[in-house]
Copies of this chain bind each other. A is one copy, B any other.
């Protein structure tokens, strides 16, 4: 269940691989449907539906290109709609040059360097998925961006550094200024190393890992606090710290604990005379974090997990200073490792302030998801 690898060129220096990756879900939510929008909603859909092309030439060059397709998604993390969308795109397209393990240069479209969870492989989280509230504000494509990154591992892979310069907000007309966005991230791995660009949410008991990381991101004059007056430009600053621990104990099982905190700051644009809508809401100014924990049986590829998140939003659906709790429990069953996996998760979202504010209704909801994952 892991496709063919083709080699070519003199001394078989060239490699190519074509993969398909799917996460097919059945979702049941206790709200969102019917004439008053409060009926139960049920849906089959793909959370991810990807074709990936990987290439390499020698040991110093590789390539990763990946498409994504979303279609008619009724049930989304925070909303239910008629789902009249159809979006086929190239999600990743990155040329990777390696000078040495301590110096890599990546060019193209790929994940920016801020939170650990966003950098965890989409197909190898511990829980059903990464946080729905984790995305950086005003990032071109949400979880990815376009630009250049320089990164590497030092001290026997114990220490990793990353720098990138990317588009950030790529709205030349709407932004006060067309600036690039800069990120810096570092981690230290005290047990087994995590030396790649992508992290994992679990190593299925095959590694002993204790990694502590931190990152900082900035972009100047990213939006107006007063759009109508084209005035009061605000700067964007974010920082995060994160910890990942996984430890297999013989005959007992594998324990995983992971936690992070992140602060996204936009100079309190939400208090402005007429703030840019992009500075508020789910991907606007906010801070919060998660803790997740897992336990995998020693002799059966079955893993229990739980996660708890809390976020404070500058302004969400008409509520200033809204607080949101997102808790979930679930189980992964690895039929063939991550290549064929069944996941079941129950999650509950609680808002500190429920009700209808400015015509928008905010109500707690819960979701039950069954997911079949394939990587071929």
A residues bordering B, Cβ < 8 Å?
A: 1-9, 14, 16, 18, 20, 22, 24, 32-35, 37, 39-46, 49, 51, 53, 55, 57, 61, 63, 65, 67, 69, 71-72, 74-75, 80-84, 86-90, 93, 95, 107-109, 140-141, 146-148, 166-167, 170-180, 230, 372, 374, 376
Contacts and interface: CB of A to CB of B under 8 A. Distances in A.
Contacts of A172: 32-33, 41, 43, 74-75, 80-83
Q: Indicate the member of A35, A51, A107, A179 with the most B CB atoms within 10 Å.
A: A35
A21 B207 CA distance: 37
A3 B93 contact: no
Contacts of A179: 42
The 10 closest A-B pairs by CB, nearest first: A4-B8, A35-B230, A33-B178, A44-B146, A41-B178, A4-B6, A82-B171, A74-B172, A69-B90, A44-B147
A374 B170 contact: no
7 contacts: A3-B8, A4-B14, A20-B63, A32-B172, A33-B177, A46-B108, A49-B90
A173 B44 contact: no
Contacts of A80: 172-173
Main secondary structure of the interface of A (DSSP, over half): strand
A98 to B, nearest CB: 14
A146 B45 contact: yes
Contact of A39 (B95, B178, B180): B178
A44 B178 contact: no
Contact of A376 (B34, B63, B107): B63
A93 B49 contact: yes
Copies in the complex: 3
Nearest to A339: B57
Given A22-B108, A55-B376, A172-B32, A71 B89 contact: yes
Contacts of A376: 55, 57, 63
A6 to B, nearest CB: 4
B170 A22 contact: no
Contacts of A49: 90, 93
B178 A3 contact: no
B74 A24 contact: no
